[in-house]
Structure 1
Amino acid sequence: MAASLPIPVFNNLQDLYQNLGTSLNHAERWDNLAKEFKARFGRTPTYIARAPGRVNTSPDAQQGEHIDYQLFGVFPAAIEHDILIACAPRSSPDQHHHTPGSVIAENLHKKYTRQGFTPTRRPTLGPEWHLDIDKTELRWESYVKAGYYARDEFHFLIWCSSNGVLNHYFAPNDAESVPIPVDLLVTGSVPAGSGLSSSAAMVVSSTLAFLAVNGLLDKVEENSQDAKTITKGSLVEMAMENEKRVGVNSGGMDQAASVISLANSALYVSFFPQLSAKPIPLPGSSNSGGPGTPHATFICANSLVVSDKAVHAKTRYNLRVVETLAAARILAVRLGVHVGSREKITLRTVMARLMGETEDGAEADEEKLRAGLERMAQEVECLRPQEAKGHADELGVTLETMIEWSEMGREAFNDVYLSWVDVEATYFQLYKRAKHVYLEALRVLQFRDLCLNASSNPAEGSSVLKALGTLMNESQESCASLCEITCPEVDELARLAMEAGAYGSRVTGAGWGGCTVSLVDETQVDSFIAKIKASYGPYKGLEEEALREAIFATKPSSGACVYKFED
């Protein structure tokens, strides 16, 4: 299984580059980062950790993207744009911040200033390591800190239990077990707030950098039976918990895509009954099919509306988490599905129990899974308020009504659903969110099946690409009307993409801004981009370099890795 494989560690850049795609000048970026590190810190880095951003190739997890934290399968792909972190142990004892575990972090982007921080043990709060992260202000170094340290304070997914680099690998009560001081230099080509998972890529790469520089990746070679052996799956779980330190309760899709993906493939990630990931070749990739087979690529177009998950979490991202979790409990109650008195059940688990699936064994077979989703898309009608007459505002319920429907009582409901996260809403849209989740999960299966069928019959490439585009368009509509995570600019970009000849186009990422991803015939990429540049208002007046960053073609890339410099 892909999640059980070790993190790739390269000693040869040629081997590394061939997995990253072709549209970016990777060699130049890596070489420049190493030279800048030496200029700033006086020595060559020991490692460079790399983690890519991602797109949602299929209609899937909107908002972390909205079905992954409900434990439904998703279908993302890593992109060539990535976060790179050069790192090395701090060797000179007279340098500033040489205490155990101290960090000096710099960023190649001029707007980010040098930062220094040191983890501590606080006896009054227990023996664990501590590192302050301010969730009220979005700062670049918070994601570096998050990669170093995570406490399991937002634990609610059944398969995730990691405690981060510090507390998992350095015994709090052992004075000899301490992390080494480290210098870091960060650079990135994933636009921040664009919906391409720059935050997850940042946390994955920083987690990986701290693991590498402390010699923890070597455990894979030294003792493969060690319980602390680091696999791709364990890195996903660790990075997922780490990102919650900045106040965002993501479901794992972003981290899985960044870590486990393979070049020229999307990744079918399943979270129920346990985390698993399987690479699926994408139809129309440039290395598939024979002469005459249509090839396609993905075009990412940034709306230039920044999606700030940390700042707006209580009215957007985290609100969707609470709405879907509360919808799951109420749906279970109304369908007579067993649910514990204080259990935080997911929509996936409700379906499993209703369909008689095993919750601790293998994933349900495809036929049963598809039948279950089709049924649940109808069962959710019981969440529609009786007084609703079709108007969107009438489909929501107040907090009081939601608590009443849950049959839990105010104190228990607040404790289970509201005590661990900040949310703010007048009406909670239980029906629309649950409807979106089940329909999106069904579209993911349909998208995956089309890709699998196309890989065995490349001659049908053109019709498959059109069918994939249709699913993407349906997803965009659901994101706009049921999950309500788009914005006027994103909706306009998706419309313009279709007018410019895309097979399909949809929002990607957390929503409320960020990027669209469009599936486009490879021969039409240049003309497609030119049409979008000319027709999307916010692009007018941008300098050429800014335009190249705002809209670009990308191929599915390989996942996270480490380059180790020769001694």
Structure 2
Amino acid sequence: MAAKQGIPIYTNLSDLFGSLGVSLKHVKRWNDLAIEFGKRFGKKPTYISRAPGRNDVISCEHIDYALFGVLPTAIERDILIACAPRDAASLDHSPGSVIADNMHTKYTRQTFAPSQAWRLDIDTKELRWESYVKAGYYGVLNHHFAPANPCDNDEVQKPVAVDLLVTGSVPAGSGLSSSAAMVVASTLAFLAVNGKALLNKGDLVRISMENEKRVGVNSGGMDQAASVMSDPSSALYISFHPELKAEPVRLPPGAVFIVANSLVVSDKAVTAKRRYNLRVVETLVAARILARSLRLDVGEKEKVTLRQVVGLSAGEKEGEDIGVVSLMGALKRIQQELDVLKPKKQNNEDELGVTMEEMIGMTGLAPDVFYDVYLSWVEIEATHFQLYQRAAHVFGEALRVLEFRDACLEVDNLSKLGQLMNESHFSCSTLFDCSCPELDQLTHLARTAGAYGSRLTGAGWGGCTVSLVAESEVDTFIRKIRETYPPYKDLDGEALNEVVFATKPSSGACGEFYLFIMWGIFVGLNVVLLVSLQSPISKTSGTIHPYISTLPPSER
């Protein structure tokens, strides 16, 4: 099972990306990162951690926290973090202190250190790039270091002082999960530099989910699971009930996915109380009301999910999984039960929202119990709650994921896959209200340009679309999108490639690396030649400690 597998350690990029051809596209970034680290910190990095962004093939990001299965892929674009322990002779060598730099010029150097209780301040109101680095670090401190006692400071293991440098090719706020990639890469970097044993994939997903919640987003786990567990040749079907599981789903030949950035930035942490976190609460409350209507046994203070309600309605016992066929049947049946989520008095057919008072009454809970279960742990902002629409989308999307998964096994099924993607976007836009005019426009233009299907990817409200396009039509498709989507009309070359590009499924997160990179001429081109040598390995707490040499001969 993928969740039980260890985090892979690579000694060359060909193994990581699956082929020499693909690795050559990335080797310069890795080499530049290591060289720049040396320039800024006066030493070579000891570790480089990598975590890719992800692309939602069919499932929207909002069904994972309802515990329904999702079907994303990791993408080639990623977050890299080079790091090394700070020299003992440094002026700032306080336990656990961090100097964090970013290769992107718009981000400034940040320094921070945990308190004696190994806690970090993370401002969720004014989110900054280093907040995601802190989030990953916080989890490592919380899980692997006991709080210091002033009486026995010398006896308590302390986190090491760290220098790190970040670079990323996943655009922020694009719906490709740059935030989860940053948290996963940060978690791995701080584990490695402190000599802690790397987690297995399932544990890394769980701790990364917990870590990202520290920036104010109640993530459901799809982003982290896709970034950690993905297979380089397949999509990944990830299920969360009754436990985290992942299995590869081979994508059919003849088509590729093309990602197009709407250039509308959506930071789900900043807008969470009106959007992302509000949807979490709406789906949880809808689940309780449905359970009550169906006379299912749910504890007064239990935060039952929509997936659990479907299972219970089909006779699923605790800890069991009714299986795909039974789940599909139960999803179809329960969609006939959703009228109970509508307000009793509708002013018009379009107004399906309920007030806070109405919503509490529909749950059958006392107001103080309702607040404790559904509002005490999260900030939300709304006057009306769209319970019917949110549940209708989640159940419909969960069913589309399973239909897409099955369709991948069929022959000549690209039109069917595209139809499911189109239906998904329509539901995201009309029922879950997580699209925006630019995303709606881009998906329409994509279908006009010949895509089998097109939908938003990620949480929505901006970011990217993903389109299924015939492999032979990629260049023509991109040209048509450039000509018809107004923000692209003046873009060419690399600038255009930054916002619209074909992507293949990528490997998931990687822990530590031993690389020896030489400068020279390779197949007639001025590129770096990657050579793998025998790694000098020492064992401490079960963690492998590689040595990285990346500087050209003149600088070594």
Q: 1:47: which partner in 2?
A: 47
Q: 2:124: which partner in 1?
A: 135
- Contact 2:37–2:43 under 8 Å retained in 1: yes
Q: 2:355: which partner in 1?
A: 398
Mapped to 1, the partners of 2:452 and 2:347 lie a distance apart of 35
**Per-residue deviation, residues 490-536 of structure 1 (Å, max 9, x unmatched):** 00000000000001000001110110000011110011001001100
Mapped to 1, the partners of 2:39 and 2:116 lie a distance apart of 33
How far did residue 540 of structure 1 move? 2.4
Mapped to 1, the partners of 2:20 and 2:157 lie a distance apart of 36
- Contact 2:13–2:23 under 8 Å retained in 1: no
Q: 2:379: which partner in 1?
A: 422
- Contact 1:20–1:80 under 8 Å retained in 2: no
Asked if 1:91 corresponds to 2:87, the answer is yes
Mapped to 2, the partners of 1:181 and 1:265 lie a distance apart of 39
Q: 1:79: which partner in 2?
A: 75
Letter in structure 2 aligned against 1:434? A
Matches within 5 A, 1:246-395: 246-284=215-253, 295-361=254-320, 363-388=321-346, 391-392=349-350, 394-395=351-352
**Per-residue deviation, residues 203-234 of structure 1 (Å, max 9, x unmatched):** 1111111111112236xxxxxxxxxxx10000
Q: 2:175: which partner in 1?
A: 195
Q: Helix, strand or coil: the match of 1:359?
A: coil
Mapped to 1, the partners of 2:505 and 2:52 lie a distance apart of 10
Letter in structure 1 aligned against 2:353? G
- Contact 1:86–1:184 under 8 Å retained in 2: yes
Mapped to 2, the partners of 1:382 and 1:168 lie a distance apart of 43
Q: 1:558: which partner in 2?
A: 507
Distance 1:19 1:437, change over 3 A: farther
How far did residue 22 of structure 1 move? 2.9
Asked if 1:207 corresponds to 2:187, the answer is yes
Instruction: Please report the TM-score for the alignment, with normalisation by the length of structure 2.
Output: 0.89
Distance 1:24 1:546, change over 3 A: farther
How far did residue 80 of structure 1 move? 0.4
**Per-residue deviation, residues 110-162 of structure 1 (Å, max 9, x unmatched):** 0101111111124xxxxxx210000011200000000111xxxxxxxxxxxxx
How far did residue 562 of structure 1 move? 2.6
- Contact 1:21–1:263 under 8 Å retained in 2: no
Distance 1:406 1:335, change over 3 A: same
Asked if 1:235 corresponds to 2:235, the answer is no
- Contact 2:237–2:247 under 8 Å retained in 1: yes
Letter in structure 1 aligned against 2:216? G
Mapped to 2, the partners of 1:544 and 1:389 lie a distance apart of 53
Mapped to 2, the partners of 1:376 and 1:93 lie a distance apart of 65
- Contact 2:342–2:354 under 8 Å retained in 1: no
- Contact 1:21–1:80 under 8 Å retained in 2: no
- Contact 1:398–1:426 under 8 Å retained in 2: yes
- Contact 2:17–2:506 under 8 Å retained in 1: no
Q: Helix, strand or coil: the match of 2:29?
A: helix
**The one of 418, 423, 432 aligned to 2:389:** 432
Q: Helix, strand or coil: the match of 1:511?
A: coil
Instruction: Please report the TM-score for the alignment, with normalisation by the length of structure 1.
Output: 0.88
Asked if 1:169 corresponds to 2:144, the answer is yes
**What is the total number of aligned residue pairs between the two structures?**
511
Structure 1 unmatched ranges of 5 or more: 123-128, 150-163, 219-229, 285-294, 455-459
**The one of 94, 98, 105 aligned to 2:100:** 105
**The one of 110, 114, 126 aligned to 1:115:** 110
**The one of 156, 179, 182 aligned to 2:162:** 182
* RMSD across aligned positions (CA): 1.6
Q: 1:468: which partner in 2?
A: 417
- Contact 1:19–1:557 under 8 Å retained in 2: no
Mapped to 2, the partners of 1:429 and 1:347 lie a distance apart of 15
Asked if 1:535 corresponds to 2:484, the answer is yes
